[in-house]
Amino acid sequence: MRTTVYLVGAGPGDPSLLTLGAAQLLSEADIIVYDALVSPAIRSYFSPTARLEYVGKRAGRHSMTQEEINALLVDLAQEGEGLKIVRLKGGDPFVFGRGGEEMATLHSHGIAYEIVPGVTAGIAAPAYCGIPVTQRELSRSVTLITASTQQGGLPQLDWGAYARLEGTLVFYMSMRAVPEIARELMEHGMPQEHRAAIIAHGTLPSQRLLSQSLKQFALSTEGYEAYSPGLFVVGDVVAWGQDFAWYRPGRLVGQRIVVTRSEAQASSLSERLEREGAEVHLLPTIAITPTEEWGQIDEAIAHLDEYDWLLLTSANAVRLFFERLSLLGRDARALAGLSIGVIGQATQSALRGYGLEADFIPSIYTAEVMARELAPRLSPGQRVLLPQSARSSGLLAEGLRAAGAVCTELDLYSPSPIEHDEEYIRSLISRGTSWITLCSSSAATNFLDLVHRYGLQEELHRCRLAVIGTVTAETITAAGYSVAALPAKASIEALVEEIVQKSLP
């Protein structure tokens, strides 16, 4: 099987606009080369085993030149046979994405390639503002224009031709040149009252629309670089944005939030925060390491018919238990005679992924409440199977035994700390950070260890901490820090809503 490089468009930002083809390739890729316009929500589609190569590019700030990226793609493709390499680019790779240059480079080196188009911002961002780039009797054409050269200046364009077009002009990479573009169009005959707009962060919850006349943009002394990445749209259709705008900004726009969940679990919280407009930064503090001692677990799976209840306290426990079940040649049918109890909506959702519904969920998502509320349902001598973290508090098993149950605890996995350097930690708990989220006691413990190791206690005291669960809150307060957000319900949805409410002016 030959190695193939896929030039893939990631779309304009909203992960729901990622194509099915792109999502499938990302989930299967051996190597992913991506840039700065690929959001964390889209990165959640990356294969967990893929090697990641970041080549982040933004106008005026290049971490790698295009020539270096071209050379990197060739080097990666020559590493071996049968590799699936995804070059992921914001928007569409062939609309000011320099995908043509990358394709030509691959072709010249005899490397197989395929193109997966993406939704381009020039069409999608105006649509999210209620602006149709073409409209009968109003705009007969749409013209996509780059407003940046390799040297960083405005290119030499036929401004007279653009000014005479009866259509919509969409300028990419234009935030540094908005007043100059407006002046050129006016000087070449476009009416000064012609409508124009800047669309920043199009299709994202942080989307902003600034609409005014061409003259107002031309005379402005405002620096529009703060709107990057943005588009400058000129045309009569811009006025439609006043009446037909439908996409509402999120409630956390302007909030910088650090998520400390394990990488495998971070996506659900990150995506919800991003949908509310937050700027999310990932700081995974725990890695989930499956056990190496499977003997007792395999024995329990072989005799599932001897148990009355299966209790699953986390999404990790669900995933690892069912993976082992499958590895042993069994599936959900093996659980036909058991009642299943879970703690939390995330655990319930993970269970549903295997086609099963929980028979019992406690009213409050803690081990103590589960033991107390499940006890009346248990008969003395009933057998309970409890696959869990090796660092479980033991409170659930203790409570079940007190109710007369025979409880078998299985250590499925261990949460282990992830190391980060001081510079990275310091940057994430700087004055610009609004919230730090901590979803488990182990995540909180590992995070606090990093803070104390680097002497960042004072900086952390200036941050607001949002946590899930009373045990996590106790870990934080015992270390001398205050908890700013603790939802009554221990769920991701409740945590996000609590942060929203506590962030309101």
Among candidate residues 99, 119, 139, the one where a domain is terminated: 119
Q: For residue 125, give the nearest of 217, 212, 247 by alpha carbon.
A: 247
Report the domain count for the chain: 4
Do 108 and 129 belong to one domain?
A: no
Q: What type of residue is 422? A: E
Pairing of strands 142-146, 57-58: unpaired
The first and second tokens of residue 260, run together, are: 């400390």
Confidence of residue 59 (pLDDT cuts 50, 70, 90): very low
Do 88 and 161 belong to one domain?
A: no
CA-to-CA distance for 301 and 303, rounded, in angstroms?
5
Do 235 and 263 belong to one domain?
A: no
Alpha-carbon distances of 407 from 28, 160, 348, 350, 404, rounded to whole Å? 40, 81, 21, 23, 9
Confidence of residue 49 (pLDDT cuts 50, 70, 90): confident
Q: For residue 35, give the nearest of 16, 9, 15 by alpha carbon.
A: 9
The first and second tokens of residue 345, run together, are: 């909506």
Name the catalytic one among 14, 35, 89, 92: 35
Q: What is the mean pLDDT of residues 182-211?
A: 94
Q: How many helices (H) and strands (E) does the chain have?
A: 20, 21
Do 191 and 234 belong to one domain?
A: yes
Confidence of residue 262 (pLDDT cuts 50, 70, 90): low
Is residue 13 within 8 A of residue 41, CB to CB? The reply is: no
Among candidate residues 381, 415, 449, the one where a domain is terminated: 415
Is residue 324 within 8 A of residue 301, CB to CB? The reply is: yes
Question: In this predicted model, what pLDDT tens digit does every residue of 91-132 receive, in sequence order?
Answer: 999 999 999 999 999 999 999 999 999 999 999 999 999 999
Is residue 50 within 8 A of residue 242, CB to CB? The reply is: no
Do 69 and 153 belong to one domain?
A: no
Task: Indicate whether 251 belongs to any domain.
Answer: no
Q: What is the pLDDT of residue 206?
A: 83
CA-to-CA distance for 295 and 406, rounded, in angstroms?
20
Do 20 and 95 belong to one domain?
A: yes
Indicate the pTM of the whole model: 0.69
Task: Indicate whether 247 belongs to any domain.
Answer: no
Name the catalytic one among 57, 308, 411, 449: 57
Q: What is the pLDDT of residue 286?
A: 83
- The yes-or-no answer on residue 57 being catalytic is yes
The first and second tokens of residue 160, run together, are: 């007279």
Range of the domain at 453: 256-285+419-503
Task: Indicate whether 249 belongs to any domain.
Answer: no
pLDDT > 70: percent of the chain: 96
Pairing of strands 309-312, 339-342: parallel
- Residue 427 CB: number of other CB atoms within 10 A? 11
Among candidate residues 212, 242, 272, the one where a domain is terminated: 242
CATH number of the domain to which 397 belongs: 3.40.50.10090
Question: In this predicted model, what pLDDT tens digit does every residue of 371-408 receive, in sequence order?
Answer: 999 999 999 999 999 999 998 888 999 999 999 999 99
- The yes-or-no answer on residue 215 being catalytic is no
Q: What is the mean pLDDT of residues 25-54?
A: 86
CATH number of the domain to which 225 belongs: 3.30.950.10
